Structure 1
Amino acid sequence: MREAFKFAAWAVLCFVLLGCETEVKKTGQHAMVPGVSSTEITLGSSLALEGHASYLGTQTLRGALSYLRNVNALGGVHGRLITLQAINDGYDPTRCLANTHQLISSGNVFSLFGFVGTPTTVRVLPLIEDAKIPLVGAFTGANALRVPFNPYVFNIRASYYQETKAAVDLLVSRMKYKRVAVFYQYDAYGFDGLMGTELALREVGLAPVARGSYVRGGIDIDEALQRIVGAQPDAVVLVGTYEPCAEFIKKADALGLDAAFFNLSFVGAEELARRLPDDIKGEVLVSQVVPPPSAPQVRDLMGIADDYVRHLNEFYPDDVPNAVGLEGYLNARVLVEGLRRAGRNLTRESFMNALESMEEFPLGGYASVAFTPKDHQGLDMVYYTVLENGEFKLIDDTDLLLKRRALVKLEEPVKQ
């Protein structure tokens, strides 16, 4: 039996084959449950496989496929192999909308899975609700996927509000910075991060000293740069993707801004690190919703990271393990567990009920996913990482970090 994971560049579909060389057959066309046949379960995804956010889409997808291919190699779920039809949207909301309509209207997709991006995913919520089709494991912390509660959307990661709250906790409460600026992408993703930062700052009696934005898909950040650098902040929260954020940090540093640069997880830490020189004066930080797979303590934090590294090396040996891929892998494990719990007589309703039964699905170490019928966010964890020698490393001891970097602005000298 051949498994097929479908990729597409806009209107063209090409197939990544996981089994023998026989022709792929369509599944679920005549089944009572869309996307389910006696031998296969078909999932659908729209994500950036080309363009300025392609690293995020590609690594999310390969992380997920690393687990799904392993599951298929072991016989699938209740005798059914899993097929993932993934269509490129280039991180464009209009293309994502068209892709999602195509996936749903085909009648061949059981569940949506692994969408990437806030403006793209938020755009398709009306289609999801109309079709009553589940969406599991989107790579976004968008508040619109969480509030108001949506019975068809199952978020696994922490939200952007939680990430920005963590940013302010570190920058203001721990590092004692008072002048915080926000650099953000001018769309739903950036607005979420901006609002989350403003709300968190308001809780400690502060407001951003400056705000600056850029247009999604571009790197014209000069106007935002001048506005923010002119305010001389102690710290900047960056809500964007890797290329414009790297441009901002490099140019701000060149202009003499000695500040902490705090990025949200969607930035793509590995690609951000690759674009930055080693001599940035201020600290460069990234919040993560999964621990870095290379962290020495990752087994205690999320033990499945070892499985991710092993399966990635098996199926994508040229790829380097990373946090984006680990999140995709984690999402696939949760989805498959839902399919297993739903049993052989699979329906969308039984699948969603099965996901909601996960009161504590262990991920190894301290981590576990929990859903309820009224709470569809599985994890709440946020991790801090800091750029050191070209790599973002987990901050295991924030007090030690602050002492080493002398980032805490105290009246008395910091004692070692």
Structure 2
Amino acid sequence: MIRKSTKYLFYICFLFIFLVGCADRNTGSSSTSATPSKGSGSDKKPIVIGASLPLSGTLGYMGKDVADGIQAVVNDANDEGGINGRPIKFIPMDDAYDPAKHLANTRYLVDNEKAVAIVGSLGTEGLKSAAKYLNPKNFPVIGALSISDAISNPPQKSLFALPAPQSVEGPTLVEYAVKKLKSKRIAFVYQNDSWGEPAFKFSQEKMKSLGLEFVAVETFEPKASEMSTQLHRIKEAKPDAVILYALGSQAASFVNSAADENFKPALLGPSGLNSPEWIKLVGKNGEGIISCSSYYPITADNMKWVRDLHEKYKLSNPSSNSLMGTSAALVFIEAAKKVGNDFTPEALLKATEKIKSFDQKIGDPISFGKLDEGEKARRGQTTESIIILKDGLFEPEEN
């Protein structure tokens, strides 16, 4: 009798559990089957960011450095649990420094990959094209990597620019040549486009303020394959310093040709020269080249954490170029922390506007603002310091 009762009790319990389970599936009341609310961090879906970069072509070395700088910070953040429990997915896309490809990549990241922000895209003309598409969408480029004043003055809604602009960089090089090197005869070589022309203009204004004029000025086209003509004309002017506003293979061509011809003026160039890949192009011919940077030297003791990140994730050695990517990623994470679970482009744009004196620990603090707060509202950094190439590394100027 006891066995029979136990048997019936078992069947009743089984039937009860079965009916409750059916009810939960039909009503959707089970906590395990509830759909997370929009924007909730509990769904663990990746937060997608992307960048359009020159990963091939003349400036391929620079784009790869920037991508590694972003990836190092993203990997580290993901290892720490992501943002509100959600991992970050970074998608770099190659534009070969072509503005049309830059715009196409930006559209793809926004429309197809559903990115919440562009982080660390590089290139003046590409960024200007992308801004026309992104501004009406209130969609941010956090870390618009261009030193051209044209992308931040006047400020544009979508573009939060890094690092310091040409209105700082060009005059910094001129002042160093005149006051530190005591140069009297300075020549200037620049790329004939919207990147190079403003650099020359700002540098020329600085020269005039010091009561000087350039003894020779030469230009080259963005896709020039060699610089021998410019070198010979500059050499004829017998300068004691040359500001070479060039990057990549063009800058290397000038430096190497000058060495071949035993032409030895002081050489000064833009911050983008500080890359391990570019330094390889010039080898010993680059010894003593003067540049500048918005970031602390990679070799400094307080930058060990950056070097450690690149080593940990098996990325290329860090450089001033990769630090632009590091900076862009750090600013994005700072903005993302401010939006809670509202990972929308507009929320991130507004959060980035509120960043003030953010210590990224790789350079001067970063501040942004609303569009009506003036010309620096969309330029996070405004200072640079001199660095000099010694034994294969750019190091800070010795005071």
Q: TM-score, normalised by structure 1?
A: 0.79
Q: Deviations over 1:190-234 (max 9, x none)?
A: 123222212222221223222222222332212211221121122
Q: Matched residues in 1 for 2:381 and 2:344: separation?
A: 25
2:291 is matched by which residue type in structure 1? V
Contact 1:135 1:153 in 2 (8 A): yes
In 2 relative to 1, CA 96–64 (structure 1 residues): closer, same or farther, beyond 3 Å? same
Partner in structure 1 of residue 19 of structure 2: none
Partner in structure 2 of residue 363 of structure 1: 360
1:38 Cα deviation (Å)? 6.0
Q: Secondary structure at the match of 1:361?
A: coil
In 2 relative to 1, CA 312–279 (structure 1 residues): closer, same or farther, beyond 3 Å? closer
Q: Matched residues in 1 for 2:147 and 2:313: separation?
A: 28
1:252 to 258, 262, 269: 258
- 1:74 pairs with 2:80: yes
Partner in structure 2 of residue 219 of structure 1: 225
Contact 1:242 1:268 in 2 (8 A): no
Q: Deviations over 1:170-192 (max 9, x none)?
A: 01122221322111122222123
Q: Matched residues in 1 for 2:104 and 2:342: separation?
A: 31
RMSD over equivalenced CA pairs, Å: 2.4
In 2 relative to 1, CA 209–269 (structure 1 residues): closer, same or farther, beyond 3 Å? farther
- 1:166 pairs with 2:164: no
Q: Matched residues in 1 for 2:38 and 2:132: separation?
A: 23
Among all aligned residue pairs of Structure 1 and Structure 2, give the percentage whose two residues are the same amino acid.
23
1:51 Cα deviation (Å)? 1.9
Q: Matched residues in 2 for 1:74 and 1:154: separation?
A: 26
Partner in structure 1 of residue 8 of structure 2: none
Partner in structure 2 of residue 52 of structure 1: 58
Q: Matched residues in 2 for 1:234 and 1:356: separation?
A: 44
Q: Matched residues in 2 for 1:334 and 1:78: separation?
A: 16
Partner in structure 2 of residue 312 of structure 1: 310
Q: Matched residues in 1 for 2:106 and 2:220: separation?
A: 27
Partner in structure 2 of residue 40 of structure 1: 46
1:361 is matched by which residue type in structure 2? F
Q: Matched residues in 2 for 1:395 and 1:102: separation?
A: 43
Q: Secondary structure at the match of 1:320?
A: coil
Partner in structure 2 of residue 22 of structure 1: none
1:158 Cα deviation (Å)? 0.6
Count the aligned residue pairs. Answer: 356
Q: Matched residues in 2 for 1:326 and 1:175: separation?
A: 28
Q: Matched residues in 2 for 1:236 and 1:272: separation?
A: 19
More contact order relative to length (CA 8 Å, sep ≥ 6)? 2
- 1:113 pairs with 2:110: no
In 2 relative to 1, CA 278–236 (structure 1 residues): closer, same or farther, beyond 3 Å? same
Higher gyration radius (CA): 2
- 1:199 pairs with 2:205: yes
Q: Matched residues in 2 for 1:69 and 1:225: separation?
A: 44
2:155 is matched by which residue type in structure 1? F
Partner in structure 1 of residue 383 of structure 2: 381
Q: Deviations over 1:360-384 (max 9, x none)?
A: 2123387322222232222223121
Contact 1:273 1:390 in 2 (8 A): yes
The 5-angstrom pairing of residues 4-403 of structure 1 reads 39-106=45-112, 108-278=114-284, 283-296=288-301, 299=302, 305-316=303-314, 319-364=316-361, 367-373=364-370, 374=373, 375-397=377-399
Q: Which moved more, 1:267-276 or 1:307-316?
A: 267-276
Q: Matched residues in 1 for 2:380 and 2:226: separation?
A: 36
1:68 is matched by which residue type in structure 2? V
2:134 is matched by which residue type in structure 1? I
1:98 Cα deviation (Å)? 2.0
In 2 relative to 1, CA 346–278 (structure 1 residues): closer, same or farther, beyond 3 Å? closer
Q: Secondary structure at the match of 2:298?
A: coil
1:368 is matched by which residue type in structure 2? P
2:164 is matched by which residue type in structure 1? A
1:287 Cα deviation (Å)? 1.1
Contact 1:270 1:392 in 2 (8 A): no
Partner in structure 1 of residue 23 of structure 2: none
Q: Matched residues in 2 for 1:97 and 1:174: separation?
A: 42
Contact 1:134 1:153 in 2 (8 A): yes
Q: Secondary structure at the match of 1:124?
A: helix
Q: Which moved more, 1:64-73 or 1:208-217?
A: 208-217
Q: Secondary structure at the match of 1:87?
A: strand
Contact 1:168 1:197 in 2 (8 A): yes
1:145 Cα deviation (Å)? 1.1
Which stretches in structure 2 are left out of the alignment for 5+ residues? 1-36
Q: Deviations over 1:225-245 (max 9, x none)?
A: 122112112211112213211
Q: Secondary structure at the match of 1:155?
A: strand
Contact 1:56 1:116 in 2 (8 A): no
Q: Matched residues in 2 for 1:111 and 1:143: separation?
A: 22
Contact 1:60 1:325 in 2 (8 A): yes
Contact 1:56 1:268 in 2 (8 A): no
1:148 Cα deviation (Å)? 0.7
Contact 2:117 2:141 in 1 (8 A): yes
Which stretches in structure 1 are left out of the alignment for 5+ residues? 1-30, 300-304, 398-416
Q: TM-score, normalised by structure 2?
A: 0.82
Which structure carries more helix by proportion? 2
Q: Deviations over 1:317-367 (max 9, x none)?
A: 5x2222222221122111101000121123333222222222221233873
